[in-house]
Chains A and B, each alone.
Chain A
């Protein structure tokens, strides 16, 4: 089936640095991708909706200048966590809908640890 490939699966960075997470749609075009964050023992929280060729739409309370989203092509969306702090440590997951009436497919997630 259709796959969203997410990289890296795990990253450790120092406080103050930036980290980029990539999500690629394989075998389908994703004009829209969704970015979620998940803290331990909690559910997924939607951060933003990424739209190809236009600005992302952020959920209330999510800092757009801290979580930069770029969706420059129909198969690639990136999330950059800028000036990362330990509280940004989390599991980040992307998602896309394969077809207009179909289910959604999710990336395998990125475990970010900020030290």
Chain B
């Protein structure tokens, strides 16, 4: 069973920042927080993942709460191409451990 909870949907405007929340209150010390997004009729796309510290890459930033029970994916300047379903997943620290997907957040970007 998925161990994270996310809002079903969110809406934002183009060129504005977007903050996508995720709760993972049962996370263990060996679990990473992964974020993936999926466009219609495509496989999921890796966005970012982290363990304890905040993480940044060219796509997004990941802000992890100090107690690690929640995190926020930040899209700094949304574009229409960012409209997708975003999945937050807690997964094993190391090795090829399975990822269990929850329902995700459907992000709509308004022009």
Q: Which B residues, 15 to 59, have Cβ-Cβ distances below 8 Å to chain A?
A: 34, 36, 38, 41-46, 48-49
Given contacts A34-B99, A43-B101, A43-B102, contact A106 B43 (CB under 8 A): yes
Q: Looking at the assembled complex, report how far the CB atom of B60 sits from the nearest CB atom of chain A, in whole angstroms.
A: 12
Interface residues of B, dominant DSSP: loop
Chain A residues whose CB sits within 8 angstroms of the CB of B36 once the complex forms: 104, 106
Checking B43, B45, B87, B95 against A97 with a beta-carbon cut-off of 8 angstroms, the contacting residue is: B95
Classify chain A's interface size. 20 to 34
Interface size on B, residues (CB 8 A): 25
Query: Chain A residue with minimal CB distance to B102?
Result: A43
Binary contact readout A102-113 vs B (1 if CB under 8 angstroms, 0 otherwise): 111111110100
Is residue A31 within 8 Å, beta carbon to beta carbon, of the partner chain?
A: yes
B49 touches A43 (CB 8 A): no
State the A residues within 8 Å of B (CB). Answer: 6, 30-32, 34, 36, 43-46, 49, 91, 93, 95-97, 100-109, 111
